[in-house]
Structure 1
Amino acid sequence: MSEMYQDGKYAEANPTWHEEDAVWKAQQIKSILIDNGVKFENLCEVGCGAGGILVELSKAFPDVRFTGYDISPQAHEMAARKKSSKIHFQLKDLLAEEGLQFDIVSVIDVIEHVEDYLGFVKKLKRYGTFKVFHIPLDLSVQSLARMKPIMNLRKAVGHIHYFNKDLALAALVDCGYDIIDWRYTASRLELPNQAVSSRLMANPRRWLHKVSPDLAVRILGGYSLIVLAK
């Protein structure tokens, strides 16, 4: 499956590399790190795409050094334009590198694309003290009843694994991680350029979330999970 990220097929279908989501995603990372008092001098993002998240994080943490890794030449070409004295980008697979250690490794909307995601997550552990995972929660009652949302994600953006909160957290624990904090992020409510169906579901999702966050996510979907782990 990794070929699509290297041969240009993914870039052809997703020419922005989801840069429009970078500000929102960086805010989620910033919040969970600050809320947990995490101090750090460097951060590495695996699967950094066009680099927008690191640019936004550098504004929030101006004294931190940032490194982005991606295997896509098309994404790297876009990211390289954003290079600065504090932000560097590598057209490499981090897992092929030896002797690297970061304070934080961020893995933002990546593991659902990786064929052997369990092996990938296990190998990542040695590269950083803290990890920040952002994982879309594609499994819900409404998505399974309709199936079209899941199949669209598979075709359009390359999701080949699907999670709910419990499965995502269990997978991280099984891979040897200690969960420090987790929270839902309202991806379908707050990200830009949502489909008509998502806009129609916005109010029901908000209303049910006020009553029971877990129930809202399990039944109606539209949320992702951000996890801080060691």
Structure 2
Amino acid sequence: MTQIYNDGTYHENNPTWHEEDSPWKALQIQKIIERNSLNPSKICEIGCGAGEILNKLSEHYDNKKEFFGYEISPQAFELCAQKSKHNLTFKLANLLEDDANYFDIVMAIDVFEHVEDYFGFLRKLKTKAKYKIFHIPLDLSVQTVLRSSPIIKHRKSVGHIHYFTKETALETLKDTGYQIVDYFYTNSSVELPNRGWKANLLKIPRKLFFSVNNDLAVRILGGYSLIVLAE
């Protein structure tokens, strides 16, 4: 499955590498860092794609922190390398094979659902930093299982090969040795524009249902992800 990131297939299907969503994702990361009073000096992202999440974080924190992005796709690296600057460094390399660096925080933002051996990935990633931040799409819900087409669409278009609920995502992290520090839902389907007419149709029901019972809303209607801070 990793071949699609090296041979240009993923880039052909997703030419922007989801750069347009990066400012919103960076805000979610800032929120979980700041509400847990973390003060990291070195922050790394594995599978950094176009590098825009790190770019936005580096602008927000200015010169107070150093940022590092690792990417295995040559096409994505061409995009992110252009954003290198004094406090932001990118490498065309696999972080899990780099024993030279240790970070205060390592981030895997919408990553391990793409990885064939995600248990092995998570165990290795755990050794790379004190804290880890994950953003995990919750592809499994009543409506996606009943329709099935959204799951297959994500498999073909963005390479999701594993599918999670909040409960299975958290248990996966625990099973691979992580201690959960904090987590909350994020809702790109409501908060980001241009998600398609079906997502737009569900915006109001999702918001109303979520305000009443967030777990049940996510479990039934879907459209949410989970951001997790772990040790």
Shorter-chain TM-score range = over 0.9
CA-to-aligned-CA distance 1:146-178 (integer Å, 9 cap, x gap) = 001000000110000000000000000001000
Query: Residue 98 of structure 1: CA displacement?
Result: 1.2
- Residues of 2 paired with 1:129 and 1:61: CA distance? 19
- Residues of 2 paired with 1:53 and 1:75: CA distance? 13
- Residues of 2 paired with 1:89 and 1:73: CA distance? 12
**Is the CA contact 1:184–1:225 (under 8 Å) kept in the aligned structure 2?**
yes
Aligned to 2:139: 138
Matched, 1:220 2:221: yes
Matched, 1:23 2:27: no
> Identity of counterpart residues, as a percentage?
54
- Residues of 2 paired with 1:194 and 1:60: CA distance? 26
Aligned to 1:173: 174
- Residues of 1 paired with 2:179 and 2:85: CA distance? 33
Aligned to 2:76: 75
Aligned to 1:86: 87
- SS of residue matched to 2:227: strand
**Is the CA contact 1:184–1:226 (under 8 Å) kept in the aligned structure 2?**
yes
Query: Residue 99 of structure 1: CA displacement?
Result: 3.4
Matched, 1:152 2:153: yes
- Residues of 2 paired with 1:133 and 1:172: CA distance? 10
- SS of residue matched to 1:184: strand
Unaligned runs of 5+ in 1: none
Aligned to 2:199: 198
Letter in 2 for 1:33: I
- SS of residue matched to 1:38: coil
CA-to-aligned-CA distance 1:85-117 (integer Å, 9 cap, x gap) = 000000000111113210000000001100001
- Residues of 2 paired with 1:31 and 1:99: CA distance? 29
**Is the CA contact 1:20–1:192 (under 8 Å) kept in the aligned structure 2?**
no
Aligned to 2:52: 52
CA-to-aligned-CA distance 1:56-103 (integer Å, 9 cap, x gap) = 001221111000001000000000100000000000001111132100
Aligned to 1:119: 120
- SS of residue matched to 2:37: coil
**Is the CA contact 1:17–1:49 (under 8 Å) kept in the aligned structure 2?**
yes
**Is the CA contact 1:55–1:87 (under 8 Å) kept in the aligned structure 2?**
yes
Aligned to 1:3: 3
**Is the CA contact 1:11–1:17 (under 8 Å) kept in the aligned structure 2?**
yes
- Residues of 1 paired with 2:97 and 2:45: CA distance? 15
- SS of residue matched to 1:216: helix
What is the TM-score when the length of structure 2 is the normalising length? 0.99
Query: Residue 193 of structure 1: CA displacement?
Result: 1.9
Query: Residue 141 of structure 1: CA displacement?
Result: 0.2
- SS of residue matched to 2:178: coil
Query: Residue 7 of structure 1: CA displacement?
Result: 0.6
**Is the CA contact 1:109–1:134 (under 8 Å) kept in the aligned structure 2?**
yes
What is the TM-score when the length of structure 1 is the normalising length? 0.99
- Residues of 1 paired with 2:10 and 2:155: CA distance? 12
Query: Residue 227 of structure 1: CA displacement?
Result: 0.1
Runs in 1 of length 4+ with deviation above 3 angstroms?
A: none
